[in-house]
Amino acid sequence: MNHNKIMKFTHSKSKVQWWTIVAIFGIIITFTACNKDDDDMVVEPPPPEEEYPALKVVNQNTDDRVITAVKLVGYEFYTLNIESSDSQTFILEDGMPGGYDDINVTVNYKRGNSTGSKSIQVNFTDGDTTTVTLKGCISFEGCNGFYLE
């Protein structure tokens, strides 16, 4: 047997080279993928919540009339039952198609089979509540009838 043969380790050399390359990339990725300090991050404030105008309808009539509907440009609230001394607030979140100024608001009311309606022009502002109040009594009771304020 001839023990003087030279063995070639090319296969094992290429394995060592690949492991070295993988280890170097692993180290690079480990150190570059670290989170940076949170102090350097710019935090954007959340967008402001959108504010909508609101309409509060108050029933202060002295003749037990019940408010049954409220209408204004772009909105119709039916099947209401706002009794005397009560109120209801409506958030107008679908926008104001008629604008914000001089908006006609119509309030329908009834007592038994007797119905009526009154209208008033009001202004709205985003984030604020505009109040419309039904007041009055039937005219033969000594007042000027029903009106909105």
CB 55 within 8 A of CB 71: no
The predicted pLDDT at position 118 comes to 96
Tokens of 120: 């008033």
Q: What is the mean pLDDT of residues 88-102?
A: 93
For the domain bounded by 54-148, which CATH number is listed?
2.60.40.2890
pLDDT: which is higher, 44 or 115: 115
pLDDT: which is higher, 143 or 39: 143
The predicted pLDDT at position 20 comes to 78
Whether residue 9 has pLDDT greater than 90: no
Please report, for the chain, the start and end positions of each structural domain, with discontinuous segments joined by +: 10-40, 54-148
Whether residue 37 has pLDDT greater than 60: no
DSSP 81-129: -B-TT-EEEEE-TT--TT-SSSEEEEEEEEETTEEEEEEEEE---TT-E
Q: Which residues contact 12 (CB under 8 A, 6 or more apart)?
A: none
For the entire predicted model, the pTM comes to 0.67
